[in-house]
């Protein structure tokens, strides 16, 4: 029986599994299939090659680095083909043009998976995890987890070293996909969602599959490097993914600036040409460590410069805020007390809250004074749930500064300075909205 027929038997739900000696159990049919697949593999000059139609397939490994470990924690196996003229065929073409039926596509996916496992085996000690791309269609097929288990047993690679990257294609059987993911987890594999932000790699998939790792699509890195809004959104996005219990990996890092931006956003792991091209061999670990350590030094330097700049800004604001408080405590109007504060170009408005967080006075800079927006009318509004109010009430001895947030009064990002003080009528919090730095 040939492999394609064997796969058909499996798809029809026919189980030929028998008892195996020793653990872990490997399904007999799956083992036979893997032996058939393995017969297409050969080693030329130490490199594994698989024969598929007129092509020679081979596997390249691209390093995945951890910012905290400052070293490689895994490799993604990437398929390449070579035709009889020595011309390279990329995966997109291989999977869309070279397989003419569903059964052939399954054969190609399983063959390339076996090739990846064989290519990874000699470097498994240094390489950490092996990331393999698999389509939702393949993994949801009956018996596919058995096939993977047999392939791993054949090569002697533990399932705990395998991360299954679920590609961004649609799944026509969402519950089937959830069940399938459970089967790979039961083997000991980790689950990653590939190309998050593209195609069907979206929040729905995170919520239903609860992956161990989410790989941010390369396009997200590119856009974050070029568009301020996306860059500002990135830490929040990373935080959301972390809250789901998944680590975050960014793909397509090509420049030092992109690597720093990603690291500052809290991303855990990076992959891209900056750290290493897809190659047959792993990159030199000492070089990589040096590169990671340079990145870390540069990022620390930038952070310190930023701290110093922010401290100077803060000191300047603090001086004017204290002058305002002094005026208010002496019974002057808010207009008069906040005059010098409002003259600073980044100050938008100053307002005073009572001890419940209700606004009892406000002055705005000239630019915003004539706004017609209904949201700009904040008389007697309630800011009691805001962090800047609560922090000022909790720690009464100093001025606070909020993180940037979206102001509901004018619909743009701002930061709020806040400080507690007392008047004859009770506790007050003076707040001052400024443009984010």
**Angle 402-405-409 from CA coordinates, rounded to 5°:** 110
- Which residue in the shown chain puts its C-beta closest to ligand G? 272
Stretch that binds ligand G, among 106-114, 232-240, 248-256, 321-329 (CB under 6 A): 248-256
Q: What's the rounded Cα separation, in Å, for the pair 214 and 165?
A: 9
Q: How far apart are CA 197 and CA 223, in angstroms?
A: 12
Span 313-372, contacts to ligand G by CB under 6 A:
none
The yes or no reply on residue 273 touching ligand G (CB under 6 A) is: yes
Please tell me whether residue 252 binds ligand G under the rule CB under 6 A. Answer: yes
Residue 63 contact among Mn ion, ligand G, none, beta carbon within 5 to 8 Å by kind: none
x/- map, 197-226, ligand G, by CB under 6 A = ---------------------x--------
Q: 404 to each of 52, 155, 368, 387, how far by Cα in Å?
A: 55, 52, 19, 12
- Taking the least distance from each CB to ligand G, the nearer of 135 and 415 is 135
Residues 229, 68, 242, CA angle at the centre, nearest 5°? 50
Q: Which does 172 bind (CB under 5 to 8 A by kind): Mn ion, ligand G, none?
A: none
Separation between Cα atoms, residue 371 and residue 369, nearest integer Å: 6
Residue 108 half-sphere exposure, CB side, CA atoms within 13 Å?
26
Shortest distance (Å) from residue 213 CB to ligand G: 12
Whole-number Cα distances in Å, 192 to 34, 42, 296:
24, 30, 26
Place of tokens 């590119």: 222
Identify whether the C-beta of residue 259 lies closer than 8 Å to the C-beta of residue 246: no
Q: How far is the CB of 194 from Mn ion (least distance, A)?
A: 4
Q: Which residue number, 34 or 209, has a Cβ lying nearer to ligand G?
A: 209
Site for ligand G contains 78 (CB under 6 A): yes
- Give the footprint of Mn ion on this chain (CB under 5 A): 133, 165, 194
Q: What span, in angstroms and rounded, lies between the C-alpha atoms of 28 and 31? A: 5
133 lines the binding site for ligand G (CB under 6 A):
yes
Chosen residue from 194, 268, 410, 433 binding ligand G by CB under 6 A: 194
Kindly list the residues in this chain that would bind ligand G in the complex (CB under 6 A).
62, 78, 133, 194-195, 218, 251-254, 272-273, 278
């Amino acid at each position: 029986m040939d492999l394609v027929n064997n796969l058909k038997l499996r798809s029809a739900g026919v189980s030929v599994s028998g008892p195996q000696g020793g653990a872990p159990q490997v399904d007999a049919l799956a083992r036979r299939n893997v032996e058939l697949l393995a017969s297409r593999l050969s080693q030329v000059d130490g490199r594994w090659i698989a024969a598929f139609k007129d092509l020679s397939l081979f596997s390249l490994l691209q390093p995945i680095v951890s910012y905290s470990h400052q070293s490689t924690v895994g490799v993604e196996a990437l398929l390449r083909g070579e035709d009889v003229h020595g011309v390279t065929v990329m995966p997109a073409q291989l999977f869309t043009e070279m397989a003419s039926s569903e059964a052939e596509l399954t054969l190609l996916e399983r063959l390339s998976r076996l090739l990846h496992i064989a290519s990874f085996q000699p470097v498994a000690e240094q390489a950490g995890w092996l990331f393999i791309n698999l389509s939702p269609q393949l993994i949801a097929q009956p018996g596919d987890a058995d096939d993977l288990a047999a392939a791993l047993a054949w090569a002697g690679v533990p399932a705990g070293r395998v991360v299954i990257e679920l590609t961004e294609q649609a799944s026509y059987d969402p519950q089937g996909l959830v069940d399938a993911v459970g089967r790979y987890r039961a083997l000991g594999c980790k689950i990653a969602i590939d190309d998050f932000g593209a195609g069907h790699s979206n929040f729905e998939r995170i919520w239903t599959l609860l992956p161990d790792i989410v790989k941010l699509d390369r396009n997200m890195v590119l856009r974050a490097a070029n568009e301020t809004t996306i860059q500002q959104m990135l830490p929040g996005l990373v935080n959301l993914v972390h809250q789901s219990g998944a680590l975050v990996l960014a793909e397509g890092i090509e420049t030092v600036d992109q690597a720093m931006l990603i690291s500052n956003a809290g991303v855990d792991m990076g992959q891209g040409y900056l750290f290493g091209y897809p190659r047959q061999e792993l990159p030199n670990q000492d070089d990589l460590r040096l590169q990671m350590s340079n990145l870390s030094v540069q990022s620390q330097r930038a952070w310190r410069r930023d701290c110093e700049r922010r401290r100077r800004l803060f000191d300047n604001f603090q001086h004017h805020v204290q002058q305002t408080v002094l005026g208010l405590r002496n019974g002057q109007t808010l207009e008069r007390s906040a005059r010098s504060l409002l003259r600073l170009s980044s100050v938008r408005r100053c307002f005073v809250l009572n001890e419940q967080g209700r606004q009892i006075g406000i002055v705005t800079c000239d630019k915003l004074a004539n706004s017609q927006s209904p949201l700009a009318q904040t008389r007697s509004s309630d800011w009691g749930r805001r962090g800047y109010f609560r922090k000022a009430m909790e720690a009464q001895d100093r001025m606070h500064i909020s993180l940037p947030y979206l102001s509901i009064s004018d619909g743009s990002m701002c930061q709020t300075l806040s400080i507690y003080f007392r008047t004859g009528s009770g506790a007050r919090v003076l707040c001052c909205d400024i443009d984010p730095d």
